[in-house]
């Protein structure tokens, strides 16, 4: 009986660790993505380049050095560098992103299902926030040089609260964090629901919200 209990506890403990673990640990010193391999077998990650083909260029990316195209309804752009675009990130459990936001622009509420995200304001003033599973809102106004963290899997947003274009960089703790946007999934582009959400977010731009659940950001009361 005791052995059965111990076996159950051991198995349960292992299951919990698997559920809460992030990306798998690297089994090699280096494993840049092999972008030349035709992927006929789907597995969790990317194949490694042969060690003899690895070079310093695999660990450098200029993808985030240029501002994104903000000529759209939301006046913003998000550029993400994952292991698919930046080979040196493969197996390291990291990705990076850049947000460019015009005056009155907004990065619509979205979720990264596989990663937490830490943002750094490089230029401008932004208001950022996230909503937890109890519908509590946590929101802060950030200026140049300040950082903020979005916990894994929670709905979050960012919008320009200043009088100049803003640029924000971020690091995520997954090489493939995923992205699910409520604007694309529920509203589409250029419709009244998307505009309503933008206006609600902007109306709260001067407020710090610390777990307030009475503020309804999305949808009708």
- pLDDT at position 209: 73
Q: Which residue has the tokens 């009088």?
A: 163
Work out the mean pLDDT of the chain and round it to a whole number. 80
Distance from C-alpha of 201 to C-alpha of 182, rounded to nearest angstrom: 14
- Count of CB atoms situated within 10 Å of the CB of 176: 21
Identify the H or E element spanning 197: helix 192-203
- At 72-129, the pLDDT tens digits run 988 999 999 999 999 999 989 999 999 999 999 999 889 999 999 999 999 999 999 9
Q: Tell me the backbone φ, ψ of residue 10, rounded to 5 degrees.
A: -65, -45
CA distances from 187 to 95, 109, 219 (A): 27, 12, 11
51 vs 183: which has the higher pLDDT: 51
Contact of 107 with 161, CB cutoff 8 Å: no
DSSP classification of residue 48: B
Query: Is the pLDDT score of 2 beyond 60?
Result: no
In the structure encoding, which two tokens stand for residue 170, read together? 């971020």
- At 174-194, the pLDDT tens digits run 998 999 887 654 445 455 666
Distance from C-alpha of 154 to C-alpha of 177, rounded to nearest angstrom: 12
- pLDDT at position 107: 92
Distance from C-alpha of 80 to C-alpha of 218, rounded to nearest angstrom: 25
Three-state DSSP state, 77? strand
Contact of 207 with 159, CB cutoff 8 Å: no
Sequence-separated (6 or more) residues with CB below 8 Å from residue 219: none
Q: Which residues of 78-89 are buried (b: 16+ CB within 10 A; e: fewer)?
A: bbbbbbeebbbb
Distance from C-alpha of 123 to C-alpha of 168, rounded to nearest angstrom: 7
């Amino acid at each position: 009986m005791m052995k059965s209990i111990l076996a159950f506890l051991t198995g349960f403990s292992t299951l919990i660790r698997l559920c809460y673990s992030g990306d798998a640990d690297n089994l090699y010193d280096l494993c840049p993505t092999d972008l030349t391999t035709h992927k006929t077998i789907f597995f969790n990650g990317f194949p490694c380049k042969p060690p003899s083909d690895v070079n310093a260029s695999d660990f450098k990316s200029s993808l985030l050095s240029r501002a994104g195209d903000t000529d759209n309804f939301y006046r913003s752009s998000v550029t993400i560098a994952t292991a698919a675009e930046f080979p040196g990130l493969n197996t390291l459990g990291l990705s990076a992103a850049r947000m460019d936001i015009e005056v009155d622009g907004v990065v619509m509420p979205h979720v990264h299902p596989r990663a937490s995200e830490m943002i750094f304001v490089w230029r401008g003033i932004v208001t950022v926030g996230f909503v937890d599973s109890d519908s509590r809102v946590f929101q802060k106004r950030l200026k140049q040089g300040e950082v903020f963290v979005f916990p894994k899997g929670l709905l979050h947003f960012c919008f320009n609260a200043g009088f100049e274009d803003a640029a924000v960089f971020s690091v995520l703790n997954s090489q493939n964090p995923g992205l699910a946007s409520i604007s694309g999934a529920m509203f589409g582009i250029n419709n009244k629901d998307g505009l309503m959400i933008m206006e609600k977010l902007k109306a709260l731009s001067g407020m710090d919200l610390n777990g307030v659940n009475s503020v309804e950001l999305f949808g009708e009361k």
